Amino acid sequence: MRKRKIPQVVVERMAVYLRILNEMDTDEPDRYISSQDLGDLAGVGAAQVRKDLALFGEFGKQGVGYQVRLLQDELKRIMNVDRPINVGIIGVGELGTALARYNLRRSADDKAYPFRMAALFDNNPAKTGRRVESLEIFSAEEVVDKVKEYRIKLMMITVPASAAQTATDLSIKAGIKAILNFAPVKLIVPPQVKLLQSDVSLQLHHLAFYL
Amino acid sequence: MRKRKIPQVVVERMAVYLRILNEMDTDEPDRYISSQDLGDLAGVGAAQVRKDLALFGEFGKQGVGYQVRLLQDELKRIMNVDRPINVGIIGVGELGTALARYNLRRSADDKAYPFRMAALFDNNPAKTGRRVESLEIFSAEEVVDKVKEYRIKLMMITVPASAAQTATDLSIKAGIKAILNFAPVKLIVPPQVKLLQSDVSLQLHHLAFYL
C-alpha cells in the first residue's frame, strides 16, 4: 500500500473511526460493531465505512461486523499510533503553551494517548532555558540537534505568520516529515513532508452556515 | 433549501471553496475559474465541485466555469458571512486568550474577515473586569445578558473539559445557535444548535499516518 495514494479524506475518516473505537474501549473479545453503527457514529454511510476499511485489508465478517478490539488494534497499526510518537512545538506563545499543556494533560490522563510532548522551541532568548511544566524551551537554533536527540517525529508550528516558513524549513532540515501548522499562512513544503493546516477561521465559516 | 439537510462534508467543502476564492480576491469582472481548477485547489474532483455548488443554485457556465467575484459573493451569502458575525469566548485561559488575539489580529488585517470578537467570559473572579487588549472579560453569570447586549451569534468554548457542558448550557440558554468546542469532551446540545469540535488530537492522528 502506497500511503500517499490514499486520499486525505479517507485518512481523516480513519482517524475518526479510530477515535470512536477508542471511546468504546473494551476488553470483551466478543464485542462487535456493524459498518452501519460505525458509520452512524462517524457521520458517513455503511458502504463508505466498508469501502474505506477495504483499502487496508479484510477486517469484517459478513453479517457480523467488525470485532471492536481487533479493528481498534489494526487501525492503531495502520495509523502508526501503536507506539508513542514524540512531538515538538516551535513557538511558545499563548497557543503553543496551551497546546503543550493540553498534550501533557492528555498523556497523563490516558496511558494509550500516543502523542508525547518532547521539547519546545522559541527564538525569544527570554524564553529559552525556561520550562512549561516539565518541558524545556530550546532556542530555534537548536531545532536540528534536539529533534534528533529527542526523536521528535511530529512538529506543531505556533509562531506568528511571518515566522512560520522559517520554522517549517528548520523542522524539515531536522528531518521532520509531518507538520501541523497553526499560523494563518500557506506554507511551502517538499512532497515528502505532510503538512496539515489547523484553521479556526475555516471552522468558524463552517459554523456560520447554520446561523 | 433546508440547511440541516445539507451534509456536513458539503458545508466543509463550501467553506474551503470560499477560502480559495477569497485568496484569489479580485475585482476583475472577467476572471473565471473552472470546476477542475477549483477542485484541484480544494483537493476534490471537478464533478464534486459542480455537484456541491448545484445544491445551492446555478453559478457556472458550461465551458467557461465560474466568475470568481460572482461566485465569491454568492458563497459569502450562502455561508452567512456577507455580514459581520459577533463572536464570544468562554474560558480566558491560554487557549482562549490566544484565540481572542488571533481573531482581533485577523479583523484588523483583513476588513473582509467576518468574525468580530465581541466579549470574553470566565468564571474566575480574578479575571472578570480585566481585558484582553480591547475585549472585556465578563463573569460566567453575565453570559445570557452580554450575549444579547453584544449580539453574539457564535461561541467558542475554551474551558477545561469538566466545565465545558456548563459553559455550553449557558450559551444555549443565551440563544447561541453555533458553538465551536475546544474542550476534549463530547457535549450534548439540542438539535437546533450546531456544535463543532476542534480536536488537535484528531489532526495529530491524521498526521501520524504519514510517519
Q: Is B98 on the interface with A (CB under 8 A)?
A: yes
- Chain B contact probe: residue of A94, A103, A202 with most B CBs at under 10 A: A94
The CATH number assigned to the domain holding B99 equals: 3.40.50.720
- Residue A94 CB neighbour total at 10 angstroms: 20
Give residue A60's pLDDT.
83
Q: A-B interface: how many C-beta pairs under 8 angstroms?
A: 152
Give residue A5's pLDDT.
83
Give residue A137's pLDDT.
98
Q: List per-block mean pLDDT (blocks of 10 residues) for chain B, which spans 211 residues.
A: 79 92 82 93 88 91 89 96 97 93 89 94 96 96 97 97 96 98 90 92 94 94
Indicate whether A56 and A153 sit together in one domain: no
Indicate whether B40 and B121 sit together in one domain: no
E strand or H helix at A118: strand A115-122
Lateral strand order in the sheet of B65-67: B32-33, B65-67, B60-61
CB contact under 8 A, A202 and B94: no
Lateral strand order in the sheet of B194-197: B131-132, B135-139, B115-122, B85-90, B152-157, B178-181, B194-197
Q: Which residues of B are less than 8 Å from A11 in CB distance?
A: 206, 209
Q: pTM (2 decimals)?
A: 0.83
Indicate whether B72 and B139 sit together in one domain: no
Give residue A180's pLDDT.
97
User: Is the confidence at residue A138, as pLDDT, over 90?
Assistant: yes
User: Nearest-CA neighbor of A170 among A118, A130, A121?
Assistant: A121
Indicate whether B34 and B115 sit together in one domain: no
CA distance A78 to A101: 27
Which residues between 55 and 94 in chain B have a beta carbon less than 8 angstroms from any beta carbon of chain A?
Answer: 78-81, 85, 87, 93-94
User: Is the confidence at residue A95, as pLDDT, over 80?
Assistant: yes
C-alpha cell at A5: 495514494
C-alpha cell at A30: 466478543
pLDDT one-digit tens code per residue, A169-193:
999 999 999 999 999 888 999 999 9
Q: Which of B78, B100, B124 is the last residue of a domain?
A: B78
Indicate whether A65 and A102 sit together in one domain: no
Counting the structural domains of chain B, the total is 2
Indicate whether A140 and A57 sit together in one domain: no
Give residue B1's pLDDT.
54
Indicate whether A112 and A27 sit together in one domain: no
Q: Is B109 on the interface with A (CB under 8 A)?
A: no
Q: Is the distance from CB of B21 to CB of B72 less than 8 angstroms?
A: yes
User: Is the confidence at residue A1, as pLDDT, over 90?
Assistant: no
CA-based nearest residue in chain B for residue A17: B202
3-state SS of chain A: helix, strand, coil percent to 5? 45, 20, 35
Indicate whether B57 and B129 sit together in one domain: no
Residues 6+ apart with CB under 8 A from A121: A88, A89, A90, A91, A92, A137, A138, A139, A140, A142, A143, A146, A167
CA distance B106 to B113: 7
Domain carrying residue B90: 85-205
What's the angle, vertex CA A203, arms to CA B83 and CA B160, rounded to 5? 115
User: Is the confidence at residue A6, as pLDDT, over 70?
Assistant: yes
Residue A135 burial (CB < 10 Å; 0-12/13-18/19+)?
buried
C-alpha cell at B207: 498526521
CB contact under 8 A, A97 and B94: yes
